[in-house]
Structure 1
Amino acid sequence: MADLTADEWSKINSLLASDPYKYGIPRRTYGSAVLGSFNIRKLGKASSRSTNTWDFLAHICKHFDLLSIQEIMGDLEGFEKLVSLMGPEYRSIVSDKTGQFPGEQGLGERLGFIYNRNLIRLGNIISDISYDRTKVLKTIVNNYKVLVETATPYVKYLQARDAWQENPTGPEPKAPKVQIPVFLNFIRQPFSASFEIVGHPETKPYRIMAVNAHLYFGNSVEDRRQEFDALMEWILGGVQEKDNTSFPNFILMGDLNLCFSNPARDRPRIERHIKTFNQNMQAAGSGINVNFPFLDIHKGFTEPFRTNARLSETFDHIGLFSHDPRLPSYDKNPEMGPEPPQGPDYGVVNFVELFREALEVPPIESLTNQDKKDFFRKFEHEVSDHLPIWLRLPLPEV
């Protein structure tokens, strides 16, 4: 099957118009702001997607007030087109390319934020996130022996490659796969920016440091956990700093690649791991609440949300690290829902189910493996292989 045709898009748009909020698109509700995260697969040249696709993406994205975007390519044309289609009230900021050294091969990505300037004010702190040199050096010294053992095959490869370049006979040596046993730095540097979420007149805004991350995806569970733990260490260190009074609350919105091959098995382990951060904060008497709502089952559903387009994993998350008692704490997650309409609430935009129903495809669980591949192939590249996730916050009232 090819990408979605014009006729198929007509069916999709017609079904969506008949029930605009059935598939999880958050309503525009007075007195609330909607935060979200969306990994839009290889968001690059405008010509890489059809007009129908751009219109659909813009329709979804303009329901958010602060949206983090992952997988923005070096060419910003598509990202800028998306922002322009969302309307004049939206502005954006974007990181430099990360994950690729300039001039060398690799897949460099940018991370971006789109915000509704009617409700969201951009602050004066914008930064990539990396581990400083002293911390990296300490890690190298503490793990010197195992790092040397791990790096030895790569050193031999470099020597063989240099010899081959001087005398190119036989096949060119191939680089070995090296799994670094300790965390040194992020495969893609997370991107952070300060924002204020404006409330009713004479109220104090939510002051947040938004963190946009696209963490490591690979076969190694340990590599994934190292990156996640390093990011948690960075955020928790920042939220605990006593002189961090300008933007004391952190909200992580990104593709964390937390679920692995078996969500039913892996989710409880991940949940226990994350909840230790909150327990440690409470034990220290810091007054900091750590909350990952997408680890819990929403009261309107029977199982946790899936966030990849194949509906098998929960890669994407929104995490709150807050001093502000007005922001939802983890113990309030079971109460979150559409009532009151101002929130707090959270959800996923399930465009896969929209496409399935509009195109009259049988339930996914009843499809053969080949039929599943054919169905997913129609939109995983054209639209995305991730679903947008969102968190609704009541606007400040005090």
Structure 2
Amino acid sequence: MDHGKISKEIASGLVELQSRIKKAGIPSSKLDETLNIATWNIREFGKKPRSEAAVHYLAEILGQFDLIGVVELRDNLSDLGRVLQILGPYWKVVYSDMIPDDGGNHERIAFIYDKRAVVFTGMAAEANPPRTKEGQEYHSQISWWRSPYLASFRAGKFDFVVLSAHIRWGDDEKARQGELQMLADWLDEKRKETTLEDKDLIVMGDFNIASRDDDLFKAITSKGLQIPKALQSLEFGSDLARKKRYDQILHFPIYPENFTNNGGVLDFYCGDIEPLFPGMAKLKFTYQLSDHLPLWMQINTDIEGQILDQIIQG
């Protein structure tokens, strides 16, 4: 990471931020053995230019992981380019097109990754809602406000597909539940496809689910998606107050051994804005960094034993 020539104020802020990152206890990943992944809603990223300090802080946070699914990336990619420049030449991004209406909020979904640890293997697409034929046309009965985005990656010998989503908020929780149920159904059908790039599906994003006890969470997990063991005992959420479970990382437990016991939330906020942005109000702070905290976990990518077992079992 190259922070380059920065002011004393930004340097001091980075030292404080690094201290907060250290408290998150994120273990280093090991090439061809483990991979650190995260999902992060970076509030309205690109709607208005971030300050110089914010761009450096964003890069420092993103750089703790190998692959990050980012939601609320806006149509203007200038700040993303500034962040990638600080992260360095090994960092790449795959992103969706923006949606130019109020429901789409001019948002994109992106996967930012360190190509030294994980490589993009070629498939990237928006998920299409199921359609039924009516006369000569095919129509969807319900739509995603922002289409989930999926891409294929490889880390070592571990091939996987990761899908990221930003589920609608809106005034109607029933409609949000319907969108979550449709995503669960879509993923269930997708993993059964014989031509799917890989059966290892990791699902992440901002699902706008406040609690794991409500009907919204029951909808997204109705077809077998589960919280990895490392995150099941997490006692706090990923909003700044650490109470809401809007953000999730989920998987189908086909190979539960691929998920380590390491996972959690990186709290860059810690209830104290002053060391990072002196004199800044909380609302403005959320538009400089975010009103969400990154949710992360570590994956085992050394699957040599699984491959040999599959050969033996035919």
Q: Which of residues 205, 214, 218 in structure 1 aligns to 2:166?
A: 214
* Alpha carbons 1:127, 1:193 under 8 Å: kept: yes
Q: Among residues 192, 208, 232, which one is paired with 1:240 in the alignment?
A: 192
The reply to whether residue 312 of structure 1 matches residue 243 of structure 2 is yes
| Aligned 1:169-318 pairs, distance under 5 A | 184-198=142-156, 205-241=157-193, 243-244=194-195, 246-259=197-210, 263=211, 267=213, 269-278=215-224, 290-293=225-228, 296-298=232-234, 303=235, 305-318=236-249
Q: Distance in 2 between matches of 1:116 and 1:134?
A: 40
Separation in 1, partners of 2:268, 2:196: 39
> Which residue number corresponds to residue 109 of structure 2?
111
Q: Residue 142 of structure 2 contacts residue 179 of structure 2 at CA under 8 Å; is this kept in 1?
A: no
Residues 188 and 208 (structure 1), Cα distance of their counterparts in 2 relative to 1, 3 Å cut? same
2:142 counterpart letter in structure 1: L
Which residue of structure 2 aligns with residue 61 of structure 1?
62
Q: Which residue of 1 aligns with 2:307?
A: none
Higher helix share: 1
Matches for 1:373-392 after TM superposition, within 5 Å: 375-392=281-298
Q: Distance in 2 between matches of 1:25 and 1:48?
A: 31
Q: Which residue of 2 aligns with 1:352?
A: 269
The DSSP-based 3-state class of the residue aligned with 1:124 is strand
Contact persistence 2:209–2:216 (CA under 8 A): yes
Partners of 1:309 and 1:380 within 8 A in 2? no
CA positional deviation for 1:393: 1.0
Partner of 2:46: 44
Is 1:396 the equivalent of 2:302? Answer: yes
CA distance in 2, matches of 1:233, 1:383: 34
> Sequence identity, in percent?
25
- The corresponding residue for 2:311 is none
Preserved CA contact (<8 Å) 2:17 2:268: no
Would the aligned equivalents of 1:271 and 1:295 in 2 still touch at CA under 8 Å?
no
Q: CA deviation at 1:327?
A: 2.2
Bigger-Rg structure (1/2):
1
Q: Identify the match of residue 121 of structure 1 among 119, 134, 147.
A: 119
Secondary structure of the residue aligned to 1:68 is strand
Distance 1:245 1:63 in 2: 30
Structure 1 residues not aligned, in runs of 5+: 1-5, 142-181, 199-204, 279-289, 329-342, 362-373
Q: How far apart, CA to CA, are the structure 1 residues paired with 2:254 and 2:201?
A: 9
- Counterpart amino acid of 1:36? A
1:147 is matched with none
Q: 1:127 to 1:276 in 2, by over 3 A?
A: closer
1:348–1:388 CA contact under 8 A, matched in 2: yes
Is 1:37–1:389's contact at 8 Å kept on the other side of the alignment?
A: yes
Gaps of 5+ in 2: 1-6, 305-314
C-alpha deviation, 1:25, in angstroms: 6.2
CA deviations over 1:311-354 (Å, ceiling 9, x no partner): 331111111125335423xxxxxxxxxxxxxx332111111216
**How many angstroms apart in 1 are the aligned matches of 2:221 and 2:111?**
27
What's the secondary structure of 1:379's corresponding residue?
Answer: helix
Cα deviation, residue 110, structure 1? 0.8
Q: Deviations over 1:253-279 (max 9, x none)?
A: 2111111xxx4xx6355555555433x
3-state SS of paired residue (1:351): coil
Task: Give the secondary-structure state (helix, strand or coil) at the position aligned to 1:82.
Answer: helix
Whole-Å separation in 1 of the counterparts to 2:103 and 2:188: 34
List aligned pairs for 1:32-181, cutoff 5 A: 32-44=34-46, 48-98=49-99, 100=100, 107-134=105-132, 137=134
Q: Structure 1 residues 216, 118: CA separation in 2 closer, same or farther (over 3 Å shift)?
A: same
* Distance of 2:195 and 2:215 partners within structure 1: 32
Partners of 1:91 and 1:233 lie apart in 2 by: 31
Structure whose residues are more often strand by fraction: 2
Number of corresponding residues: 292
Partners of 2:66 and 2:174 in 1: how far apart? Answer: 35
Q: Which amino acid is the alignment partner of residue 292 of structure 1?
A: I
Question: Does the CA-based 8 Å contact 1:326-1:396 persist in structure 2?
Answer: no
CA distance 1:220–1:352, change in 2 (3 Å): same
Do the aligned residues in 2 keep the contact of 1:250 with 1:322 (CA within 8 Å)?
no
Letter in 1 for 2:265: V
Q: Closer, same or farther in 2 for the Cα pair 1:295/1:375, shift >3 Å? A: farther
Deviation at 1:209, TM superposition (A): 1.4
- CA distance in structure 2 between the partners assigned to 1:227 and 1:193 by the alignment: 21
